[in-house]
């Protein structure tokens, strides 16, 4: 666990890193599926040796020497979310082996790095903002608690919808919006749970056919959220997706024919189109029949003269 921070972490260290960031007490993190995070972790820690401003690099390294130092800092942050940055610094200063007698700005750099790794928020002090010039950076001050700081980065919904407007259709599922290709081994398909939506007739038939064994492959025990008011943070964005999927008009005849967002409206529309087409054909047939009758009458009159 004491491997240096600028060296690639060994497998046991990687498991410890994933554990502190992703272990919720119910399962062991899957190392294979979390490889992108490990790459992100290595990228962030590699920036400590960027060499552009050696003083900043040295400040980081003064506080964070090993991967265990980061794990310790993240554990302090996770366990004291109602504390300010000033209080977090005092807690870290109590560790005589790591952060004793360390200047405040150096501990702040270590806290920023730990927050970037834990929350994936671009928390940076003015000294390190140049490392991500194209991304907006944020800074935690000494008067705001960690919980308040995090909540401020994710503003809650400001929707004021009527009950009827806030309801989501039961067909608002990933499998309805995207065509998910079939696979021979369902356990190898990460999107299996999306291909088997709850409260769906086809899903029920499939589960009955296979003795409901697919319950082990998808989260069918949870309840579905079919009201926009239940989405505290992403209500506005979800409303945009919902309006685009269910309320936007078809852009072509092919899309109009395949549109199944509202089966009742689809059947009414195409029934009306069939009736309109038959009416037009009937009118044309009546016109032709009338024209033929008039012509036959004239021919009959001419033949009698």
- Both structure tokens of 238: 């979800």
**Taking 80 as the threshold, does the pLDDT of residue 272 lie above it?**
yes
For residues 83 and 77, what is the distance between their CA atoms, to the nearest angstrom? 9
Most confidently predicted of 78-87, 189-198, 239-248? 78-87
Report residue 88's pLDDT band, with 50, 70 and 90 as the boundaries.
very high
The lowest-confidence range among 111-125, 132-146, 267-281 is 132-146
**C-alpha to C-alpha distance for 86 and 108, rounded to whole angstroms:** 9
Query: How far is residue 126's CA from residue 163's CA, in Å, rounded to a whole number?
Result: 46
* pLDDT exceeds 70 at position 130: no
Residue-level pLDDT at 192: 52
94 pLDDT band, cuts 50/70/90, is: confident
Residue 248 CB-density burial (10 A; 0-12 exposed, 13-18 middle, 19+ buried): exposed
Confidence of residue 103 (pLDDT cuts 50, 70, 90): confident
Return mean pLDDT, the chain.
Answer: 78
In the prediction, which pLDDT does 22 show?
Answer: 86
Q: What is the mean pLDDT of residues 134-160?
A: 86
**How does residue 79 score in pLDDT terms, banded at 50, 70 and 90?**
very high
pLDDT tens sequence across 176-195: 666 555 555 555 554 555 55
DSSP string, the chain: ---BTTSPPPHHHHHHHHHHHH--SSS---TTTTHHHHHHHHHHHHGGG--SSHHHHHHHHHH--BHHHHHHHHHHHHHTTTSBHHHHHHHHHT-TTTTTT--HHHHHHHHHHHHHHHH---B--GGGGGGSTTS--B---SSSBHHHHHHHHSPPP-----HHHHB--TT-SHHHHS-PPP-S-GGG-TTHHHHS-TT-HHHHHHHHHTTTGGGGTS-TTSPP--BGGG-TTTHHHHHHHHIIIIISPPSSHHHHHH--S-HHHHHHHHHHHHHHHHHHHHHHHHHHHHHHHHHHHHHHHHHH-
Q: How confident is the model at residue 52 (pLDDT cuts 50, 70, 90)?
A: very low
17, 67 Cβ separation under 8 angstroms: yes
CB 115 within 8 A of CB 130: no
More confident of the two residues 75 and 61: 75
**Residue 202's pLDDT band (cuts 50, 70, 90):** confident
The residues spanned by each domain of the chain are 11-153
pLDDT range class, residue 300, cuts 50, 70, 90 = confident
Euclidean distance between CA atoms 89 and 150, whole angstroms = 18
Share of the chain above pLDDT 70, in %: 76
Tokens coding 246: 């269910």
% the chain with pLDDT above 90: 21
Q: What distance in Å separates the CA atoms of residue 190 and residue 105, rounded to the nearest whole number?
A: 43
Average pLDDT over residues 140-159: 87
Neighbours of 210 (CB within 10 A): 11
Do 139 and 216 meet the contact criterion of CB atoms below 8 Å apart? no
- Mean pLDDT value of segment 120-144: 81
Report the alpha-carbon distance of residue 90 to residue 105 in Å, rounded.
13
d(CA 175, CA 193): 9
Phi-psi region of 211 (alpha: psi -120 to 50; beta: other; left: phi over 0): left
Other CB atoms within 10 A of residue 145 CB: 17
Dist CA 16 CA 71 (whole Å): 8
């Amino acid at each position: 666990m004491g491997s240096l921070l600028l060296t690639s972490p060994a497998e046991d260290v990687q498991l410890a890193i994933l554990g502190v960031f992703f272990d919720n007490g119910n399962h062991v993190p899957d190392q294979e599926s979390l490889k992108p995070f490990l790459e992100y972790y290595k990228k962030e820690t590699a920036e400590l040796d960027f060499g552009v401003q050696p003083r900043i690099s040295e400040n980081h390294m003064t506080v964070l020497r090993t991967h265990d130092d980061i794990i310790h800092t993240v554990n302090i942050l996770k366990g004291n979310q109602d504390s300010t940055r000033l209080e977090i610094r005092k807690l870290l200063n109590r560790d005589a082996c790591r952060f004793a007698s360390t200047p405040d700005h150096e501990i702040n750099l270590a806290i920023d790095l730990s927050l970037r790794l834990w929350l994936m928020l671009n928390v940076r002090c003015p000294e390190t903002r140049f490392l991500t010039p194209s991304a907006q950076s944020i800074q935690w001050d000494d008067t705001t608690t960690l919980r308040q700081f995090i909540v401020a980065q994710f503003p809650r919904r400001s929707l004021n919808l009527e009950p009827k407007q806030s309801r989501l259709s039961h067909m608002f599922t990933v499998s309805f919006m995207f065509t998910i290709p079939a696979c021979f081994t369902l356990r190898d398909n990460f999107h299996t749970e999306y291909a088997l939506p709850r409260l769906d007739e086809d899903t029920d038939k499939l589960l009955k056919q296979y003795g409901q064994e697919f319950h082990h492959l998808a989260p069918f025990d949870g309840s579905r959220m079919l009201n926009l008011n239940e989405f505290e943070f992403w209500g506005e964005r979800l409303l945009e997706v919902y309006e685009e999927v269910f309320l936007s008009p078809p852009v072509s005849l092919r899309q109009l024919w395949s549109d199944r967002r509202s089966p009742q409206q689809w059947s009414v529309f195409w029934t009306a189109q069939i009736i309109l087409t038959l009416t037009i054909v009937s009118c044309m047939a009546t016109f032709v029949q009338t024209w033929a009758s008039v012509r036959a009458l004239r021919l009959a009159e001419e033949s009698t003269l």
